[in-house]
Amino acid sequence: MKITVDRSKCRGARNCDSIAPNVFDIDEEFKAIVRDPKGDSDADILKAAQFCPTKVIILEDEETGKRIFPQD
């Protein structure tokens, strides 16, 4: 799964790194970063994206490029 964070809209709520701590971290600007895209299960990564209050975590299928979350 390809994980992208729109850092311009991230508010640093920390939901992502609470749910998938091996994938996400918060940097010195209090914005989410992807530390290891395979660090947690796909289910936990999806849950982290769903619980992001600003919906700035974008998930795509690596093979097809199809967007998994958020749906357009």
Residue 29 sits in which domain range?
Answer: 2-69
pLDDT of residue 25: 97
Query: What domain count does the chain have?
Result: 1
**pLDDT band at residue 32 under the 50/70/90 scheme:** very high
Collapsed DSSP state (helix, strand, coil) of residue 32: strand
Q: Are 38 and 13 in contact (CB under 8 A)?
A: no
**pLDDT band at residue 16 under the 50/70/90 scheme:** very high
Distance CA 72, CA 62 (A): 18
Distance CA 46, CA 1 (A): 10
pLDDT of residue 66: 96
Q: Is the pLDDT of residue 29 over 80?
A: yes
Q: What is the CATH number of the domain that holds 18?
A: 3.30.70.20
Percent of the chain with pLDDT over 70: 99
- Read off φ and ψ for residue 53, nearest 5 degrees: -65, -25
In tens, the pLDDT along 54-70 reads 999 999 999 999 999 99
Residues 6+ apart with CB under 8 A from 72: none
pLDDT of residue 62: 95
